[in-house]
Amino acid sequence: PRPILLTRHGESRDNVRGRIGGDTALSESGEIYAKKLANFVEKRLKSERTASIWTSTLQRTIITASPIVGFPKIQWRALDEINAGVCDGMTYEEIKRNMPEEYESRKKDALRYRYPRGESYLDVIQRLEPVIIELERQRAPVVVISHQAVLRALYGYFADRPLEEIPHIEVPLHTIIEIQMGVTGVEEKRYKLMD
């Protein structure tokens, strides 16, 4: 059986300020996570010479992957975070205050709500299709370092969760979700590497 390890990037500077989207580097605690993750991956996949590390094209995932050595790394644009369009760089408070109607429509239906000039969860799910096909084709373990909305969609697919639940699945920072596809279905383990 070969594992797929899913993780968000280490905490980013925008995470600290509560800003969505963006392309910032890591906070100090995010940097520590990157090192702990590298340690974990090197131990967990020691004997797996063909494993690979997949990131998005945003610097917070690339930086998170950088302490991991000895495995090929691939960047996928399809693993980039949900595009928040005109709301990119805002806090949820600012959206609520400046664009209350957008805020309310998203709250009512986060699956279908599409940010003006951005994406919805359904859009993200659709663009992940080639990633999912490639993940299913791989025989070796893969470490996917991506973002909250994208990982909700990927995890929701593998864990066979109903679409409506996807925007609400918990995918905390600094936690590795390991999934294994077995004959009896999907087995899951979570490793919380720091608080």
**Binding site for substrate, residues?**
8-15, 60
Residue 26 sits in the site that holds ligand F6P (CB under 6 A): no
Choose which of 4, 5, 61, 147 interacts with ligand F6P (CB under 6 A): 147
The yes-or-no answer on residue 60 being catalytic is: yes
Q: Check 19, 106, 127, 147 and give the catalytic one.
A: 147
Smallest separation, CB 106 to ligand F6P (Å): 8
DSSP string, the chain: --EEEEEEPSPBHHHHHTB-S----B-HHHHHHHHHHHHHHHHHTTT-TT-EEEE-SSHHHHHHHTT--SS-EEE-GGGSPP--GGGTT-BHHHHHHH-HHHHHHHHH-TTT---TTS--HHHHHHHTHHHHHHHHH--S-EEEEE-HHHHHHHHHHHTT--GGGGGG----TTEEEEEEEETTEEEEEEEE---
30 part of the interface to ligand F6P, by CB under 6 A: no
Q: Is 15 a catalytic residue?
A: yes
Question: Measured from the CB of residue 128, what is the shortest distance to ligand F6P in angstroms?
Answer: 14
Q: Which is nearer to ligand F6P, 140 or 194 (CB)?
A: 194
**Interface with ligand F6P (CB under 6 A), residue from 21, 30, 141, 156:** 21
Select from 63, 84, 90, 153 the one that contacts ligand F6P (CB under 6 A).
84
Q: Which residue of 4, 5, 6, 20 would you call a contact of ligand F6P, by CB under 6 A?
A: 20
Residue ranges binding ligand F6P (CB under 6 A):
15, 20-21, 81-82, 84, 110, 147-149, 167
